[in-house]
Chains A and B, each alone.
Chain A
Amino acid sequence: MTEQQDKISFLLDEFSGDEQSRAVLDEIEGDVNLQYNMRRYQMIGQVMRHELPRHVNIDFTADVMAHINQIENPAMTDNSRVDIANRQSIWTWAVMKPFAGMAIAVSVAMISITLWQSSSVNSNSEPTSDQIVSIDQQKIDRLVSQSVQANAVVVSSSLHNGMRWKIDNNAPALQQKLNAYLVNHTEYSNSMQGLIPQARVAGFDAQN
C-alpha cells in the first residue's frame, strides 16, 4: 500500500478528530489527487455497505437547472441555501457549468459518479457506525464533494469487450451484447453450476 493509500485508509477507517486525524485531513485537503482517490474509495465502500441508491438519476439537467436558479436568485434565504446544499452541493454547478448548456441542448445522458454519490447520501439506508457525524465529518464531506472535476462520464450501453464468443464475424457490439445477456442470465436464473457462473462473470476479458 502506498503512502497515499495509507492516508486515505486512515482517514476513512480510523478518523477520530484528534490531532493526527486533523493533520491527515489537512494534507488531503491540499492534494487533489488524494481527494479523488478518497472519492473512489468511498464509492466502493458504499457498494460494499449497501448504500448505493437503487436507481440512478441519469437526467441531471433538472438538478443543474435548480442550481442555475439558486445561484441567480439573490433573494434566496440562508436556510434554503442550506437545504439545497444538502440535496446537491454548489460544486456540482461550478464544475458542470461549462458543460451544462451543451448537455441540456443535446440531451446527452450523462451522470457523474458524484451525482451518484450525492443521491446515495440521501438514500434511506440505515446509518452505519462509520456514518456517525462529527464536526469534521462535514469537512470530509466538503472535500469529497470537491472532487467532481474528473468524474463526469458518459453513460454507455456497452460493456467493455469481454469474454470471447465464437462468432464468424467477430463484431465487438455482438460480443458485448452476448456478454450482457450472459450476466443477466446468470443473475435471473438459479444456475445449477456451483461457482462457475460467478467465475464466468469475473472471467470477462480473460480471453483477449
Chain B
Amino acid sequence: MARVLINFPQRAKRGDIIEIKTLIQHPMETGYRLDNKGAAIPRDIINCFTCAYNGDEVFRIELFPAISANPFIAFSTVATESGELVFSWTDDHGQTQTETRQITVE
C-alpha cells in the first residue's frame, strides 16, 4: 500500500467550503523514459482519483503522464452533513487504493 497524507478540517459548519488536500506516494512513471540498458520503462501512473462524500462523488480527476511523482491533489467541497469521505486512487495496473476519513458537520 502506498503511503498517503490527507488533510482537511475534521469539524466544519454546515455550508462551509472546506479545502481537502491529498498526497500519495507514487513514481508516476511516464512511459517515455529508458532505463540504463536502453529498454523502455513501462508507463505506470495513477490515472484516476475520486472523492466520494457519503456515497456521492464530489470530485474526480483524470491524470496523464505529465503529472509529477507523488501527486498532490487539493480541491474543495461544501460541508453538508457528518459522515465519511472516501478517497480512491486507481493506477495503470487497475489497482485501487482507498482511504476513508470521517468529518463532523455541526
A and B interact physically: no
Interface residues of A (CB under 8 A from B): none
Interface residues of B (CB under 8 A from A): none
